[in-house]
Amino acid sequence: MALLDSALNDQQREEDLASLKREEFDLVVIGGGVTGAGIALDGASRGLKVALVEAGDLASGTSSRSSKLIHGGLRYLEQYDFKLVKEALREREMMVTSLAPYLVKPVSFLFPLTEKFRERTYVGAGLALYDLLRGFKRALPWHKHLDQKRVAKVAPSLRSDIITGGIQYFDAQVDDARHTMMIARTAKRYGARIATYTEVTELIREGRRVVGVKVKPQEGRAFAVKAKVTVLAGGVWTSLLYKKFGLKPGYEVRMSKGAHIVVPGDAISSESGLIIKTPLSVLFIIPWFGKWIVGTTDTEYKDDPNTPVASKADVDYILTQANRVLTPRLKRSDVIGVYAGLRPLISSAPDSPTTKLSREHIVDRPAPGFVSIAGGKYTTYRVMAEDAVDVASAELRRLVPDSSTAQLPLLGSDGYFALTNKVSHLAKEYGVSEDVIRHLLDRYGSEIVTLLELTRKRPELRGRLDPNLEYLKVEALYAVEYEGARTVVDIIDRRTRIGFESEDHGASIAKDIAEILAKPLRWNAAEKKSQMEAFKAHVKAERSALITS
Indicate if 377 and 445 belong to the same structural domain: no
Q: Is residue 81 part of a domain?
A: no
What are the angstrom distances between the C-alpha of 541 and each of 306, 338, 497, 537, 547? 12, 11, 17, 6, 10
Please report whether residue 75 resides in a domain: no
Sequence-distant (6+) residues with CB within 8 A of 276 are 112, 282, 283, 284, 285, 321, 322, 324, 325
Task: Say if residue 228 is in the same domain as residue 292.
Answer: no
Same domain? 27 vs 132: no
Residues 6+ apart with CB under 8 A from 408: 41, 45, 99, 186
The CA distance from 249 to 242, in Å, is 7
Give yes or no: residues 423 and 471 share one domain.
yes
Same domain, 344 and 462: no
* Residue-level pLDDT at 79: 65
| Residue 262 included in any domain | yes
What pLDDT shows up at residue 546?
85
* Same domain flag for 344 and 391: no
Question: How confident is the model at residue 352, as a pLDDT?
Answer: 42
Number of structural domains in the chain: 3
Which residue, among 298, 338, 284, 291, has the nearest Cα to 315 in the 3D structure? 338
C-alpha to C-alpha distance for 523 and 528, rounded to whole angstroms: 6
- What's 36's domain CATH number? 3.50.50.60
In a domain, residue 79? The reply is no
Judgement on whether residues 289 and 344 belong to the same structural domain of the protein: yes
Cα(33)–Cα(16) distance, integer angstroms: 19
**Cα–Cα distance measured from residue 44 to residue 403, given in angstroms and rounded to the nearest whole number:** 10
3-state helix, strand, coil in the chain (%, to 5): 45, 25, 35
Q: Are residues 518 and 446 in the same domain?
A: yes
Average pLDDT of adjacent 10-residue blocks, the chain of 549 residues: 84 97 98 98 98 98 95 73 84 94 96 86 82 75 93 96 94 97 98 98 96 96 98 95 93 92 97 92 94 94 91 95 96 95 77 49 93 93 96 94 97 96 96 96 97 94 94 97 97 97 94 94 93 93 80
Does one domain contain both 468 and 527? yes
Give pLDDT, residue 133: 76
Same domain for 382 and 428, yes or no, is: no
For residues 371 and 274, state if they share a domain: no
Query: What is the predicted pLDDT for the residue at 122?
Result: 79
The dihedrals phi and psi of 63, each to the nearest 5 degrees, come to: -70, 0
Which of 326, 350, 374 is at the close of a domain?
A: 350
| Residue 388 included in any domain | yes
The type of residue at 259 is: A
Q: Which of 5-23 are b and which e, b meaning 16 or more Cβ less than 10 Å from the residue's Cβ?
A: ebbbbeebbeebbeebeee
End residue of a domain, out of 350, 369, 385: 350
**Cα–Cα distance, 514 to 428 (Å, whole number):** 30
CATH number at residue 117: 3.30.9.10
- Check if the beta carbon of residue 43 is closer than 8 Å to that of residue 358: no
Q: Which residues make beta-bridge pairs with 163?
A: none
DSSP per residue over 426-463, as a string?
Answer: HHHHHT--HHHHHHHHHHHGGGHHHHHHHHHH-GGGGS
Measure the CA angle with vertex 297, ends 91 and 495; round to 5°.
60
Bridge partners for 301 per DSSP: 255
Answer whether residue 72 is part of any domain: no
Give the CATH number of the domain where residue 538 resides.
1.10.8.870
Measuring CA to CA, which residue among 266, 209, 208, 253 is closest to residue 31? 253
pLDDT of residue 190: 97
Contacts of 144 (CB under 8 A, 6+ apart): 167, 168, 169
Question: Residue 148: enclosing H or E segment and its boundaries?
Answer: helix 148-154
Q: Are residues 98 and 163 in the same domain?
A: yes
Among residues 344, 169, 192, 159, the alpha carbon closest in space to that of 253 is found at: 344
What residue numbers bound the domain in which 397 lies? 10-63+178-251+357-407
- The whole-angstrom separation of Cα 351 and Cα 63 is 26
Between CA 310 and CA 331 the distance in angstroms is 17
State which of 350, 374, 396 marks the end of a domain: 350
Q: Which of 475, 543, 537 is nearest to 505 (CA)?
A: 543
1 within some domain: no
pTM metric for this prediction:
0.95
User: Is 2 a member of any domain?
Assistant: no
